[in-house]
Structure 1
Amino acid sequence: MEQQMNELHRLTLTWTRQLEKSRIAEYTQLLNRPWRLIWLNLLSGTARGVGIAIGFTFFAATIIYLLQLLGALNLPIIGDYIADVVRIVQRQLELNTY
């Protein structure tokens, strides 16, 4: 009987540790406060949007820079195509003054 009680106690402790690790209490508190949930989702969505914008800007600038370098090499077919793409992008940047 005592061995079964010890085993049950050990199992209960294991479950409580796993529940604490999963932060189930914090999650239920968050669900009970909908305005806080909305605020956190708004904040995280804004951070993701800013991160995507910065990342895309860096990526696009790198691609344009590489295309300009390739265009300067005067490769026969590829050079003309790249020069056209760079010219189009530069015109768009000149037209869109924010």
Structure 2
Amino acid sequence: MLMDRENLIRELCLKIDELSVKIEKLNLSEYLELFRNPRRLLYLNFLAGVARGFGMAVGFTLLGALALYILQRVVILNLPLIGDFIAELVRIVQDELSVK
């Protein structure tokens, strides 16, 4: 009976140690401290938003450049169906620009 109780206490101590290590890895104290300081929370969220916006702008620019490069290559190949479609688009855009 006494041996079972000692084993149980040892197991509980081991579990408590494991939990404390996991909580330290989660940085729970830093996370809670962040909520106690609303200015820092707003500042970090602002920086995250700026970084996200910058990333989207760069990504959109790269994808747009890639699309234009592919369209240039398609025009150079002079494929009848696709080339005519692109030429029609260019004509429509030029007509709209000249009207205004």
TM over 0.5: yes
Contact 1:70 1:79 (C-alpha < 8 Å) held by counterparts = yes
User: How far 1:82 moved relative to its partner?
Assistant: 2.4
> Does 2:62 match 1:62?
no
CA distance in 1, matches of 2:57, 2:29: 35
Q: Relative contact order (C-alpha < 8 Å, sep 6+): which is higher?
A: 1
**Percent of residue pairs bearing the same amino acid type:** 40
User: How far 1:67 moved relative to its partner?
Assistant: 0.3
In the other structure, the counterpart of 1:39 is: 43
Q: Partner letter of residue 46 of structure 1?
A: V
CA distance in 1, matches of 2:71, 2:53: 27
CA distance in 2, matches of 1:34, 1:53: 28
In the other structure, the counterpart of 1:94 is: none
Aligned residue pairs: how many? 89
Provide structure 1 residue ranges, at least 5 long, that are not aligned to the other structure: 92-98
User: How far 1:84 moved relative to its partner?
Assistant: 4.1
In the other structure, the counterpart of 1:6 is: 10
CA distance in 1, matches of 2:61, 2:68: 11
In the other structure, the counterpart of 1:23 is: 27
Kindly report structure 1 stretches of 4+ aligned residues shifted beyond 4 Å: none
Find the structure with the greater CA-based Rg.
2
> What SS does the aligned partner of 1:5 have?
helix
CA distance in 1, matches of 2:87, 2:54: 31
